[in-house]
Chain A
């Protein structure tokens, strides 16, 4: 069983479209994260959810909105996609106290 799974693995879409990336974890973790890894391979945190509450919201455009239907899921919705949104997006989860994070396999988003 995959501990942290995200779908789709690859996503190619046109500018201006709206898309969602789904993430699910079966580890019983109470905190989930979204990271963006750009072409320079730098991992930057975007959002963090703890018990369905947003606890970190980095200065990302409001076109990005995390949605957490329950503790095991944290989806990322992106409106009006731009070329600069092209990157690999990683979902991760952890216990808040532990902070040893487990990552999903990543979603490679390409905006054309």
Chain B
């Protein structure tokens, strides 16, 4: 079983759509959680951290469910510029584990 699992997609959605990604992790001792964004042929960049209480940053909402060991990312009112691969990252002290990424394409 992979340590961090994501639906690879691709997700193809029209502009303005709401799209949600889920991620599950296997290690219950994981301490911190993030969503990263990676554009084609670019480096991953932090999108947002994920807190137990849930957190929102503009059109993006991240949630963590420790009991079920999953993390979600919701994107509202999708823009063309949201097209990218979204990586779920789970941290165990000094060890950052990446999911394989979910590819999103937003179309006009």
Q: Which residues does A use to contact B, with CB under 8 Å?
A: 31, 33, 35, 40-45, 48, 50, 55-56, 90, 96, 99-106
Contacts and interface: CB of A to CB of B under 8 A. Distances in A.
Contacts, number: 47
B44 A99 contact: no
Contacts of B42: 105-106
Contacts of A43: 44, 87, 98, 101
Given A56-B94, A100-B34, A101-B96, A41 B45 contact: no
Lowest 8 CB-CB distances: which A-B pairs, in order?
A: A103-B43, A43-B98, A42-B100, A99-B91, A55-B94, A103-B44, A105-B43, A106-B43
Contact of B98 (A44, A50, A56, A104): A44
Contacts of A41: 85, 100-101
B100 A40 contact: yes
B95 A100 contact: no
B44 A48 contact: no
A48 B95 CA distance: 8
A106 B100 CA distance: 17
Nearest to A41: B101
A69 B60 CA distance: 40
A105 B32 CA distance: 24
A31 B94 contact: yes
Given A103-B45, A105-B43, 17 more contacts: A40-B100, A42-B100, A43-B44, A43-B98, A45-B95, A45-B96, A45-B97, A48-B94, A90-B43, A90-B44, A96-B94, A99-B96, A100-B34, A100-B46, A101-B46, A103-B43, A106-B43
Contacts of A101: 46, 96
B49 interface: yes
Contacts of A96: 94
A44 B89 CA distance: 11
Contacts of A40: 100
Q: Which of A31, A41, A48 has the most CB of B within 10 A?
A: A41
